[in-house]
Every structure is written in C-alpha cells, then in structure tokens.
Structure 1
Amino acid sequence: MTEAADFAAFPKLELHLHHEGAAPPEFIRRLAGEKKVDLGGIFDEQGHYAYEDFWHFLKVYEAATEVLKTPEDYARLTTAVLEESAASGVIYTETFLSPDFCGGRDLGAWKEYLHAIREAADRAERDLGITMRGIITCIRHFGPDKARETARCAAETAGDWITGFGIAGDEKAGKPKDFAWSFDMCREAGLQLTAHAGEWGGPQSIKDALDDLKVSRIGHGVRAIEDLELVDRLAEEGIILEVCPGSNVALGIYPNTRCHPIEMLRERGVKVTVSTDDPPFFHSTMAKEYEALHNAFGWDEEVFGQITQTALEAAFCDAATKEKLAKRLETRA
C-alpha cells in the first residue's frame, strides 16, 4: 500500500462525518448561485472554505448551511456527499444530521427532510454500493433547551436508519450534564449514543461525557492522551474513539500527523477508528487519511484491517447490515 490508488481501493467504514460539513464547496457555490445568495466571504481565492480557527470554522459552517433550505437541497447534498465518500473507498458511513438545520427542529418538517435524505441514500446504495445511516446531533452552543427539541425529533424517528444520537459544536459551551435529559430520552427510544469530547475541552470533557451522558463512543477523544488513567479507562471499558486526524491537524490541535496521538492510544489498547469529520474544510478524504497514517506510522493493510473491524463492531447499525458489510470485507480480503 504505497500508491494513492491503493488507499482509495481499500474498503472503509466511517463513523464520524458531519453531513453539511461534507458538502463540497463547489456544490455550495452552485446552490448559492441558483438561489442568488452571496456566500463569497466564506471561500478563499482558490474556492476552498476559508476560516481562521475552530470558532470561525463553526461560523463558516453555519453560513454554508444557509443555502440548504429545502428537503430537495438535502437530497442533492446527500448524493454529492456519498459520491465523494464512495470514490474514497467508503462502503459504510454514519453521518451527523441536525434537525436544527433541517426544518428548525419542527418534527413534521424534519420528517420531510429525512424522507428526502433517505431516498437519496437508498439510490446511492443501489448505484454506488455505499450504505448510510443517520446519527441525529444536537448543537451544544445552541443550548440544552433546543437540544431537547432535537432529541424529540430523534426519538420520534428512531429506527433502522436513524440509529444514533449525539452532540457536536463548541465544547466550551455548557457542560455535558446540561444535556443529560436529551440523551436519556434518546437512550429510552433505543438510539445508541456518542458525544464530541476531548477535542478542545481536554480530558475532563471526556470523563464528563462518559459519566453524565453514558455514551459508548466519543467523537475525537484524542486529548485523553494527556491523562493516562483515562486512557486505561477507555481501554478497559471498550469505549470507541471516532478519531479524525486530518481535522485535528488542520485545526491546529497537533502540528502534523506524526505528532498525533492515535498510534499511542492504539498501542495502549484503546479502540480507535478513523474518520474525516468535515473533509472539504480540511482538504481531506478517507483515502488521504489512510495515506497520512501510513506515512506517519507505517500502518499497513493489517492495521487498517483491524481499524475497519473495530469500526464495524462499533457501527450504530443492526446485525443484518453488519453481516452484509462483513461479507463485503471478506470478499475484499
């Protein structure tokens, strides 16, 4: 595995992908042109998304969603996102969906958006061979009251396609316990749980997410490495980390992939997976993530196979879907 094409050909499962954050910039520009919306301020001279730091990134992210106003817009977005993922060898993806952006947390409107997204995902599965499932995500800096409305949307549409609930946004806004009610509701509805932590909030944010939200997966979680007792706890409890190395480097948490702690976490027995987070914002793809990890740590096909198996076991989908994915992986082997 030394050529870029080899990394694209390797079958991958991605567990941490923000739906709007995966929108190719050219797609957003085209949609803005159709709607006669000026979004020039969010792009650089090369046409890429432009931001200065994580908090500015959040503003640019939300500005880009301003042109996504209808279920049809989200159907087109879903097609664009899944085409990009499939081209990078992804056979299964879990995408974070926010009713905040899809109908303003109104349940009836959210159901219309969800129907459109699912139809597009079904077409992509048929035409491209990529399976998608949705994790509804509340936005932390929007506050716990709005999170409750989002949780109601999640609970009412939980099933074989909406399979998880999580929280994203600014980790410095509020505390995980402020959102416990929403997580309890979604747990009772049968949804599996994840939470962004340990990206900007440090090790304590991971502990709080585990203790107050009772999640089985942590989005990012890489700053656990600053507390080795926490690292051992993650390993002992089998907590899955949805690690996004390219994102962490692009946002300046680590200077380069070689300095990223994913290999140290893996060596200490933590179950890590690899994802892109918001790929066009960070000039990444799943194939590029694999290539960077190969170059930094010498990861080979055996290691990537272990990472893929961990992702399969941790995926928020039913046993039948996992069995189908496992057969595809066996065929590749």
Structure 2
Amino acid sequence: MTKHLVKAELHLHIEGGAFPALVEKQAQKYNVDTSSFIKDGSYIWSDFTTFLHAYDQASMLFKTEEDYALLAETYLSSIAAEGAIYGEIIVSTDHGIAAGLSADAYIDGLIAGMEAAKAKTGIESRIMLSGVRHLGVDRVIAAAEYGAKRRHPWITGYNMAGEERNGRVADFARAFDIARDAGLGISIHAGELCGAFSVRDALDIVKPDRIGHGVRAIEDPELVARLADSGTVLEVCPGSNIALKVFPDFKSHPLRAFYEAGVKVTLNSDDPPFFHTTLGKEYEIAANEMGFDEAALNTMTRTAIEAAFVDEDTRAALMAKL
C-alpha cells in the first residue's frame, strides 16, 4: 500500500482532471446535455480522437473564472488527500478562449483555485502553459508568446500537447525558443502515440528539461541510453498509456526498464477520470503491477521535485517534506 507515501505530480491536464461528477454539476448549472460524452458516471470514448472530443466537451462546461477556480481547487485538493505535496497543472489558454474567457481571466481563475487549495491543504502547485499541437503552429506560438508576456511566479513552464501525429517537432521550434528565452521550464509531449523518432526529434530540436510520456523511446536502446546520460526526465503516465493502448498491459509497460536503465522517471495521472485512475492509483500500479518497492517510489517522487519548475527556495521546502 502506498497511501502513506509523499507524492508529487508533473503531468496533469487541468481540464482532464475534471471528474464526471463535477462536470455533471457544471452541466446542470448551464443546462447542457452530457449524454454524448458521459454515461453512468464515466466518460465515453473509444480511441484518441473520441477521447479528445469528450475532453473538449467537458472543458466547455467551465466558462467563468469561478468555474476554473473550482476546478483547480478541487483537483489539487484531491491529490493532496492522497499525499501529494506538489502538483503541476498543464493549462491551455485556448480552452479558456473557446469557453468565452480571455486568456487572463482563465489564468486568474486557475491561480485563485491554486491559492485556495494551498490555503486548505498546504499543497504547492505551478502552471505549465501549453500549446495545442493540432490547433496549428500559429496557436502554439501564441501560447508561448502569452507565457512570455504574462509574468506570474506560478507560471513557470511551457509544454506542447495535443495530437502528436500532427506536423513535425521542427515546425513548432520557435514556440519553445520564445518560452525558453522568457525563463520558462521546457517540456514536450513526445513518444506517446508516435514512436522513438518523436523523442529523438524532441531532444535534438527542443532540448527539453522533461518529456511528457516519452515511453516509446523504449523501442530504441541507444535512445534509452541517451535519455539516461542526459538526465532528461520522463513524465510517465502508466494508466493513461494502457487506457490509450500505447501498451497492451502493465506487464509490458517500460517504466521498470527505464528505471533500471538509469532514466529519470516520475509518476503522473495525465487525465485521470478519463482513464479511471488517480495519482494515488498510479503509485499503487507501480507498486502492485510493476513491483516497485517504497524506496523506488520515493526516488520517483524525489526526481519529480528535483525536476519541478519551481524556484530553489520552494524546491528546498518541498525536499524537506520528503
């Protein structure tokens, strides 16, 4: 059992952290029918495309600053109850804009929820702004430009998420240059739906501090060795990988192979209610399905805090809680 372990999370899409019960309350508030994407208290989807549809439909039910404050506070409080002392949330201003909010109002709402969760539970959190790959190069660059312009101590990272099969990493390189020049930590989704080549492209072109997923790197032993040598951190999401059929089962998942090869790995939940998981369950999966002992799980948490996009005083305070 891992309930007593201190935990930390680096890879959570905030709209993907909206559990169906909360979404259905929002639907009642706005008089929206959820039957096309929620059934019997669970999200309905069958592949990555329909998953994105359900995700976007749920996201559209958060329409005000107060809605987003509620979402952030609810999610962060939930992982704090599972033992988390830190959580990074991946956010896309495009979702807020699609719901009718300005980018600033969207971010202000999230920050209010983060502050409320910290006041209530003590959990520390930060924002990783994200460009959505399948919305095109211009939107991804615009997200980076917003991150460079919107200065806030809790906006500390930049990522690119979305449909990995759209375009080449090189198409989006400018966005990462903008974000890096603004002092933001860099992560990128790679090696999830696409193979090892996408991880290699990310390393060559983006030179990220961390990679979201990265698990398909296991297909190339030389690339695994490169990840270990470079110290690039993988934000691994086992439950998500199995749900999306990146691997057929936990026995075939490469988390242990990466760990034993010296790759720095962390545990994360990605979009937990869509994949019937939580951050706490990811630690349970690692222990019960993959055979990691407490020392190894603690190492992953320590790696997450070492790789967190936070100032050094905050990092030291988090480390003291391990």
User: What is the one-letter code of the residue matched to 1:14?
Assistant: E
- 2:12 is aligned to 17
User: Secondary structure of 2:205's match?
Assistant: helix
Decide which moves more: 77-86 or 26-35: 77-86
Matched, 1:279 2:264: no
Distance 1:163 1:173, change over 3 A: same
Per-residue CA distance 1:112-143 (angstroms, 9 max, x = gap): 22222112211211211211100000100000
Structure 1 residue 225 corresponds to structure 2 residue 218: yes
Q: Matches of 2:36 and 2:98 in 1, distance apart?
A: 24
2:85 aligned residue = 91
Amino acid aligned to 1:78: A
Is 2:288 the partner of 1:295? Answer: yes
Q: 2:23 aligns with which of 25, 28, 33?
A: 28
- CA distance in structure 1 between the aligned counterparts of 2:99 and 2:206, rounded to whole angstroms: 21
Instruction: Select which of 199, 205, 216 maps to 2:192.
Output: 199
Partners of 2:307 and 2:147 lie apart in 1 by 20
Q: How much has 1:59 moved relative to structure 2?
A: 1.2
Distance 1:96 1:75 in 2: 15
Helix, strand or coil at the partner of 2:93:
coil
Q: CA RMSD in A?
A: 1.5
Residue 239 of structure 1 corresponds to which residue in structure 2?
232
Cross-structure match for 1:123: 116
CA distance in structure 2 between the aligned counterparts of 1:111 and 1:325, rounded to whole angstroms: 28
Residue 234 of structure 2 aligns with an amino acid whose one-letter code is L
Please give the residue correspondences for 1:61-76 in structure 2 after superposition, counting only pairs within 5 Å: 61-76=55-70
Q: Deviations over 1:53-105 (max 9, x none)?
A: 11210111111111111111101111111122112211100000101012359
Report if aligned partners of 1:158, 1:190 keep a CA contact under 8 Å in 2. no
Instruction: Please say if 1:54 is aligned against 2:48.
Output: yes
Q: Distance in 2 between matches of 1:202 and 1:101?
A: 27
1:79 corresponds in structure 2 to 73
- Give the match for residue 39 of structure 1: 34
Rounded to whole Å, the distance in 1 between the matches of 2:247 and 2:141 is: 34
Alignment match of 1:255 (pick from 244, 248, 253): 248
Quote the residue 1:103 is aligned against: 97
Q: Answer whether contact 1:105 1:153 (CA < 8 A) is retained.
A: no
Distance in 2 (CA, whole Å) between partners of 1:105 and 1:55 is 20
SS at match of 2:289: helix
Instruction: Find out whether 1:328 has 2:321 as its counterpart.
Output: yes
> Does structure 2 retain, via aligned residues, the 8 Å contact 1:24–1:80?
no
Q: Return the TM-score normalized by structure 2.
A: 0.97
How big is the shift at 1:283? 0.8
Residue 159 of structure 1 and its aligned partner are, at CA, apart by: 4.0
Percent identity between the aligned chains?
Answer: 43
Residue by residue over 1:26-72, the C-alpha shift from the partner in whole angstroms, topping out at 9 and shown as x without a partner, is 1111101110111211012x210110011210111111111111111
CA contact (8 A) 2:91 2:130 kept: yes
Unaligned runs of 5+ in 1: none
Quote the residue 1:181 is aligned against: 174
Change (3 A) 1:16 1:128: same
Distance 1:198 1:64 in 2: 26
Give the superposition deviation at 1:240: 0.4
Instruction: Tell me the TM-score normalized by structure 1.
Output: 0.94
Cross-structure match for 2:150: 157
- Counterpart position of 2:161: 168
The alignment partner of 1:100 has SS state of: helix
C-alpha contact (below 8 Å) 1:105/1:149 kept by paired residues:
no
- Structure 1 runs of 4+ off > 2 angstroms? 103-106
Corresponding residue for residue 309 of structure 1: 302
Report SS of the residue matched to 1:116.
Answer: helix
For residue 241 of structure 1, report the CA deviation from its aligned partner: 0.3
Structure 1 window deviating more from structure 2 (209-218 vs 129-138): it is 209-218
- State which drifts further: 117-126 or 240-249: 117-126
3-state DSSP of counterpart to 2:104: helix
Q: What displacement does 1:296 show?
A: 2.2
Answer with 283-292 or 221-230: which moved more: 283-292
Q: Is the 8 A contact 2:93 2:107 kept in 1?
A: no
Cα distance in 1 for residues equivalent to 2:239 and 2:221: 23
For structure 2, list consecutive stretches of 5 or more residues without a partner in the other structure: none
